[in-house]
Chain A
Amino acid sequence: MTATRIQKKICMLGIFGVGKTSMVRRFVFEKFDDSYLSTIGVKVNQKILPPQENSEHKMIQHNLLIWDIEGFDDKTKPLNNYFIGSAGALVVADLTRMESITSLPTIFETFQAVAPEAKLVLVGNKMDLVDKEAPTLVELTQFAAEGDIAFLPTSAKTGENVEAAFQKLGLLLAD
């Protein structure tokens, strides 16, 4: 049985520098770069996920259009148009910067106002730089639990959990 290919648009959300571009680069190209190049606007990448069974036992295969969007920083620049038509979002926080966590409520609100049905996965990136008791990790775990949002710590640098985070989102999209 061949899987039905379904195109889905997902957005990478988070303030600047949390590792959105690095997550995409790791996931799509299996690469990582320590140097930083700030993203302006949007870069769309594609990645085809392995076939999976949805809740109606049909084999489907997602072709993800991953929107790597610039950070939620410049308040004067509305990003709303970027979100239209998103089936999901990977929300990225940076475990080395508390500001990336305090900004999350605004990010969720803005995004969900445009795409209320979109599925969400939250990640705490740069886990290679902090230890397990880091206050940011504790805070983020709690935030995810309270909002009932799927959460994973990740490292775009070592690759840990990056694939898993996208797979998780893929799974949510399948239903």
Chain B
Amino acid sequence: MDATFFKKLLDQNSFGYAFLNQDLRIRTHNRHLARFSMRDRNLEMALLTDLFPETVGLDQIFEEIFEQKRFSFELTHMNRESDEGQTIYFNFFLYGTGNKDIPYFFLVEDKTREAELAQELSQRSNEIRLLEGLLSARSGNVSARIWGQSLPIENLRAQIEKMGRIPTATILLQGESGTGKSMAARVLHESSHSSDAPFIEINCAAIPETLLESELFGYNKGAFTNAVTDKKGLLEEADGGTLFLDEIGEMSLPLQAKLLSFLETRKFRSLGSTSEKEVKIRLIAATNQDLGAMVKERRFREDLFYRLNVVRIQLPPLRDLGDDILIIAQNFILTLAAEFKKPVNSLDKPAANKLLNHNWPGNIRELRNAIERALIFCEGQKIGADDLHLGSLQRDEPSSSPLDRFKLPKDGLAFAAIEKKLLEDALKMSNGNQSRAAQLLQLSRDTFRYRLEKHDLI
């Protein structure tokens, strides 16, 4: 058999090949070679390492082949982007010819089919294992974001981690005000959804009844007087993610009925629309009320209660957490001190005792506020008992931060008057010390002074 036979054989099977001189320059080649090479013309006398950068660094191999210490060398599944943007795969082989003028024979074989099959196989099994890694990293974050090590907290953590792995449709979070229901909802969301899935949050107590309905379900243009355009409801915004309904106990009975019907069918109708929409969401509802008791008083629908109550997570009150109070306080000190750029790093003993003996009607939120205020007043590295003003805000108003209770009166209110009052109060509380007053209002000194001037308080 002569050389033309082999040439034909290789050409017909789409092999590329070339003979190289000792400097690794192409002496002769067939037309198929160009398909795999970095360049598609002027291959003659080009350097192999330019056309196939995969051969850079193989000096040792070339030498061994030249000296006939080695007969061949092979690299498999090299990837290359074709002109059409597709990935082609090839194997290449180097052989010694024994001919001093053209000592090397370079052969390229198309392996695209085979590699595509291998790709599909590995793709599938690898994807699953990657996802597992991602989920466990996320649940690691769960443990990190729920502070404490008492039994109630360990239980809570275990429950949240479990819920992160099971795609339940609804979850009810029950717990006193300030126990971290909103944070728990967010952690539940993050541990079971990809980072770009929506998390939509709405407080049913903060929004008037009629508005709540249109917020949730959306409306079509013309549904009511002010509906000048279509508006997507939060149910739709949350599609593919989580809708968090805080203070669900405040929802009116008719709206409860509408929500129940959605939970049963997963379909809803926007206001003024004739067609139904279907969405895939997880609903997390939260309440600080005893929904069971509300059912008895007919203030909450029994059927909705049972639907929500299937998976219930109880958030423990702070007073039941024992020494966790100190762990949580310490975490707040570290994070808030960094934020306020204060060199405070711990509590002294009397301060710790004071925290342990308080009964925390406003729970974690109250603790956070107490630490925040203490940091403003604390001058040393340790917060002392005197820096902690417990119960002053909470005694007669157990529910946490004053903002929660503030509501705009029906006939409005002058914004400037409130601003002035806040500035005056802050100055009074800090005995005229402007830096402290600014800190109380979380304003920079410059902003604070600007506002004082605006109200002629300087």
Q: Which residues of A come within 8 Å of B, CB atoms?
A: 7, 9, 16-17, 36-44, 46, 65, 70-71, 73-74, 81-82, 84-87, 94-97, 126, 129-131, 133-135
Contacts and interface: CB of A to CB of B under 8 A. Distances in A.
Contacts of B53: 44, 46, 65
A85 B75 contact: no
B427 to A, nearest CB: 40
A17 B130 contact: yes
Given A65-B53, A130-B137, A133-B144, A17 B79 contact: no
B56 A65 contact: yes
Contact of A84 (B61, B138, B140): B61
17 contacts: A16-B126, A17-B126, A42-B75, A44-B54, A46-B53, A85-B57, A85-B61, A87-B57, A96-B137, A97-B129, A97-B133, A129-B134, A130-B137, A130-B141, A131-B140, A133-B144, A134-B140
Interface residues of B, number: 35
A9 B57 contact: yes
Contact of A81 (B75, B79, B115, B136): B75
Mostly helix, strand, loop or mixed at chain A's interface? loop
B226 to A, nearest CB: 40
Given A42-B78, A85-B58, 14 more contacts: A7-B49, A7-B56, A16-B122, A38-B122, A40-B77, A42-B75, A44-B78, A81-B74, A84-B60, A85-B59, A85-B60, A96-B137, A97-B133, A133-B144
Contacts of A70: 77, 122
Given A16-B126, A65-B53, A84-B58, A38 B119 contact: yes
Contacts of B127: 36
Given A129-B134, A130-B137, A130-B140, A40 B122 contact: yes
Given A16-B122, A84-B58, A134-B140, A40 B134 contact: no
Contacts of A86: 57
Contacts of B73: 81
A42 B79 contact: yes
A146 B144 CA distance: 27
A81 B58 CA distance: 10
B118 interface: yes
B89 interface: yes
B76 interface: yes
Contact of B56 (A71, A85, A96, A97): A85
B123 interface: yes
A159 B204 CA distance: 40
A94 B54 CA distance: 27
A39 B115 CA distance: 10
A17 B133 contact: yes
Contacts of A131: 140-141, 144
A36 B115 CA distance: 17
A85 B123 CA distance: 29
A68 to B, nearest CB: 8
B77 A41 contact: yes
Contacts of B74: 81
Nearest to B87: A43
B77 A94 contact: no
Nearest to A17: B130
Contacts of A42: 54, 75, 77-79
Contacts of B89: 40-41
B302 to A, nearest CB: 43
A43 B79 contact: yes
Contacts of B115: 40-41
